[in-house]
Amino acid sequence: MPAVVIFGGVRQGWFGDWHIGERSQRPKLVAVIVVLVFVALALLVVLGAPRMMVACVAIMLATLAVVGPITLHWKISFHTAVASGAVVMLAWILPAVPMLVIGGVVVASIGWARVVILDHTSAQVLAGAAAGGVATAVTLTLLG
């Protein structure tokens, strides 16, 4: 969904580019994505979706709650936050060690790519990875 929102936003002139480099354009993007995630979560709960699907969307909301406010002031990496969260979730339901090792390589590769294309600093990708991983672990713990 975020890619669709960004694509439409660029076409409508809300955003100057795909990377949302202009800080003043980020609140609109974050707000739209938060609304979409809330709607998705409500629909899943009302329609009786499997617990794991509800957990995935709850994790999205938790991650947004952490990285959304940060990105309004500092361009934390959503890419590494989402990737790290996915790794933590997979390690929660599958054998943890292989998932963390393989996932760590994937998250590091994504972070490296974000730095190489000059869209983020190393600190921004590391902070994103930490935020996504912690938000996911806390959410999964709370959901039991």
What tens digit of pLDDT does each residue of 47-106 get? 999 999 999 999 999 999 999 999 989 999 999 999 999 999 999 999 999 999 999 999
| Cα three-residue angle 120-126-127, rounded to 5 degrees | 90
Nearest to 29 by CA among 37, 20, 39, 21: 20
What backbone torsions phi and psi does residue 81 show, to the nearest 5 degrees? -65, -45
Sign, CA dihedral 45-135-114-31, equals positive
Domain count, the chain: 1
pTM of the model: 0.86
Domain residues for the domain of 40 are: 2-143
SS3 content of the chain, % helix, strand, coil (to 5): 80, 0, 20
Q: What are the pLDDT digits (tens) for 6-57?
A: 889 899 988 888 888 788 888 888 888 899 999 999 999 999 999 999 999 9
State the alpha helices, DSSP H only, in 72-95.
78-93
Tokens 């599958």 belong to which residue? 94
